[in-house]
Amino acid sequence: MDEVEVTPYELLGGEQTVRRLVERFYDAMGRHEPELARLHRCDENGQVCRESRDRFALFLIGWLGGPDDYVNQFGHPRLRLRHGRVPVDTAMRDAWVRAMTRALDETGISGPVREFLDRRFPEVADFLRNTPG
């Protein structure tokens, strides 16, 4: 019998949890990491805008093994290229990871999928560094 592989997306509980995580991530960024939030398109209250939230949510859904709507709508993620205009140094990398860790805590994500995300998010954030310091 073929082995059935459970995706991180399924372990998280699907789209609803991913969208909750993304909302908490950008809310935490707006509250605690204003320098990082300012690099994003923000509304008049300094909160990261709806369009950016939705694009990141669609990306995460696909990246975690769910439906590939992001790729179908926007093409290959090419994360380094798409962050080319964004100066990512170690301070911004660490701010991003802090906001994500808060969001993972607030969303109550634990167990093996949390261990996976605690390893993978910092790796991707480090890979996106493009500015000394």
CB 67 within 8 A of CB 109: no
Q: Which stretch binds ligand HEM (CB under 6 A): 6-14, 17-25, 49-57, 103-111?
A: 49-57
* DSSP 8-state assignment for residue 110: -
Q: Which stretch binds ligand HEM (CB under 6 A): 7-15, 17-25, 79-87, 105-113?
A: 79-87
Minimum distance of ligand HEM from residue 122's CB (angstroms):
8
CB 113 within 8 A of CB 8: yes
Q: Which stretch binds ligand HEM (CB under 6 A): 7-15, 23-31, 81-89, 104-112?
A: 81-89
| Nearest alpha-carbon partner for 33 in 23, 15, 46 | 46
Q: Does residue number 124 form part of the binding site for ligand HEM (CB under 6 A)?
A: yes
Which of 46, 74, 110, 116 touches ligand HEM by CB under 6 A? 74
Q: SS3 for 48?
A: strand
How many whole angstroms separate alpha carbon 26 and alpha carbon 32? 10
Q: Select 13 or 77, whichever has its Cβ closest to ligand HEM.
A: 77
How many whole angstroms separate alpha carbon 51 and alpha carbon 78? 18
Write out the two tokens for 50. Answer: 């709806």
Residues that bind ligand HEM (CB under 6 A): 36, 39-41, 52, 55-56, 59, 74, 77, 79, 82-83, 86, 88, 92-93, 96, 121, 124-125, 128
